[in-house]
Structure 1
Amino acid sequence: MSNNGNEDVPSRRRFLQQTLSLIPLAAAGSGLVSLSSAAAPGKTEGVSAHYVPTFFNNDEWAFVLAVTDRLIPEDENGPGAVSEGVPVFIDKQMELPYGYGHLWYMQGPFATAEPELGYQSSLVPRETWRRGIKAVNAWCKKEFQKSFAELSHQQQEDVLHQLEGGKLTFEEVPGGLLFTQMLENTKEGYLADPLHGGNQTLASWKMIGFPGARADYQQVMDNPNKPYPLGPVSISGKRSV
């Protein structure tokens, strides 16, 4: 991976550079969903448009498409989460051991603790998503007479800010826990190997200068701080365009 040292690197790229080292290896293999044209006008639908979710139902899927589109939107720096298949990644993860919480110790007692002490909730990821989507949609319908996916982008972002700041929470699931779950899974899917559903065009790897599953760049490591000249490669052999 290379870093050109430029202080003017776009904030989106800096965010991904800082995020890559934080993704748990156990969660680095998962799937994604599709967004309706009404929810994201002018956006590239990518693989999500034709994907049939196995865990999320139709209403939940619309929510996942909308929320991932707001967390990593398509912009001048590159494609967004939806067109890269992040919803697909998340849907697939919910049916893997990760989604069922089989990768963690999930016995009580459960308590509120500092993040440094690890995951403390009794809810596994699939429960957090399902309960959270139901609670957020119910709140949005009460406040706006619309589901989350039907809100404007600004309204959706306002809801997310409230969840992130703990101003919006529910008995079924803490708002902060829900936001953290959604953000982490979205970042994981965006930076995952395409084999697992997200990052379908290897856009995020190209953005941060990550070569992927190449085995021919040893010589480049002897020249730090210089961009790697070749595009990234997936575990499956898929190459960037």
Structure 2
Amino acid sequence: MTEKPKGLTRRQLLVSSVTTLAAGAAATAQAATLTGTPKWLPFDHNGPMHYDTPGWQFFTAEEAQEIEAIVEQLIPADDLSVSGKEAGCAVFIDRQLAGEYGDFSRLYMQGPFTPGTEPQADQSPLVPRERYRLGIAGLSKYCQAQFQKPFSALPAEQRDKMLTDLEHGTVELEGIDAKLFFQQVLDNTMEGFFADPIYGGNRDMVSWKMIGFPGARYDYRDYIAMHNQKLNLTPISIIGSSAWNRKG
């Protein structure tokens, strides 16, 4: 009998690498089988939530409207891609907050909590769910006081100015540091734009097509020796839906 190899297999390593693109939410569906590639199965206890799960899982309708306005302003539509809203960045954020990422259950979150140095970065005791809930409420209250309307109702120029002020910390939000909230949303928006579509963002693999990333392919051996050539590979998502293949 042939002895089974010990340690991580190539397939296990691939699965582990892909899942680090974003923190997985609670499993409600398994990825489908891709034609010509091995079947990808999420960890039983931490599979990614399918992007087609209906409705908002964490945000209220009002909160979702504000977050969609923010991600649309951070990544506006242009001749290269659709906006962050159209790409599903708000859906990605919503799914992450509904899962283990939302309460930092995998991180050490015991005190003492003190302001960190620049290399230490974020040392806040607030978990992502609290940051979004407090941040959206604080932003809405500030915009109502200043402009008598929510952020989502502001014109593009005012939105830009508001986000710039948050980034630089020149405004004060009730309940949360403005810079902390801005950085949280910015980071998650970028993750949602470039992560695998199975997590809710990067709808239709728009960002991968924009940068020429071939996606979650299992094997690149046929292309290793093809230097300085445009491969024109259609991106492949873990989700494996035939809809993606039709659109690709």
The bucket for the TM-score relative to the shorter chain is 0.7 to 0.9
Distance in 2 between residues matched to 1:56 and 1:63, nearest whole Å:
10
Distance in 1 between residues matched to 2:24 and 2:169, nearest whole Å:
29
- The Cα of 1:185 is off from its aligned counterpart by 0.7
Matches within 5 A, 1:17-166: 25=20, 27=22, 29=24, 52-166=55-169
1:223 to 2:226 alignment: yes
Q: Tell me, yes or no, if the aligned pair for 1:213 and 1:233 is still in contact at 8 Å.
A: yes
1:203 to 2:185 alignment: no
- The Cα of 1:176 is off from its aligned counterpart by 0.6
Amino acid aligned to 1:180: Q
The residue aligned with 1:39 is none
Correspondent of 2:176 among 173, 176, 186: 173
Q: Tell me, yes or no, if the aligned pair for 2:63 and 2:136 is still in contact at 8 Å.
A: yes
Q: What does the per-residue CA deviation read over 1:6-37, in whole Å, with 9 as the maximum and x for residues that have no partner? A: xxxxxxxxxxxxxxxxxx9263546xxxxxxx
Cα 1:160–1:124 shift into 2, 3 Å: same
- The Cα of 1:155 is off from its aligned counterpart by 0.6
Q: What does the per-residue CA deviation read over 1:21-58, in whole Å, with 9 as the maximum and x for residues that have no partner? A: xxx9263546xxxxxxxxxxxxxxxxx9x952121112
Amino acid aligned to 1:128: R
Cα 1:86–1:204 shift into 2, 3 Å: same
Distance in 2 between residues matched to 1:105 and 1:204, nearest whole Å:
33
Amino acid aligned to 2:80: N
TM-score (norm 1): 0.77
RMSD in angstroms over aligned alpha carbons? Answer: 2.2
Distance in 2 between residues matched to 1:161 and 1:215, nearest whole Å:
41
Distance in 1 between residues matched to 2:109 and 2:173, nearest whole Å:
21
The residue aligned with 1:182 is 185
**Runs of 4 or more off by more than 6 Å in structure 1?**
none
Matched pairs, number? 201
Q: Tell me, yes or no, if the aligned pair for 2:134 and 2:176 is still in contact at 8 Å.
A: yes
- The Cα of 1:94 is off from its aligned counterpart by 0.8
Distance in 2 between residues matched to 1:222 and 1:165, nearest whole Å:
47
Q: Tell me, yes or no, if the aligned pair for 1:162 and 1:168 is still in contact at 8 Å.
A: yes
Q: Tell me, yes or no, if the aligned pair for 1:28 and 1:189 is still in contact at 8 Å.
A: no
- The Cα of 1:227 is off from its aligned counterpart by 2.9
Cα 1:169–1:224 shift into 2, 3 Å: farther
Identical positions, percent: 40
Q: What does the per-residue CA deviation read over 1:159-208, in whole Å, with 9 as the maximum and x for residues that have no partner? A: 10001011113351111100100001101111111111111210111112
TM-score (norm 2): 0.75
Q: Which runs of 5+ in 1 are unaligned?
A: 1-23, 31-47
224-233 or 58-67: which moved more?
224-233
Q: Secondary structure at the match of 2:158?
A: helix
Cα 1:201–1:169 shift into 2, 3 Å: same
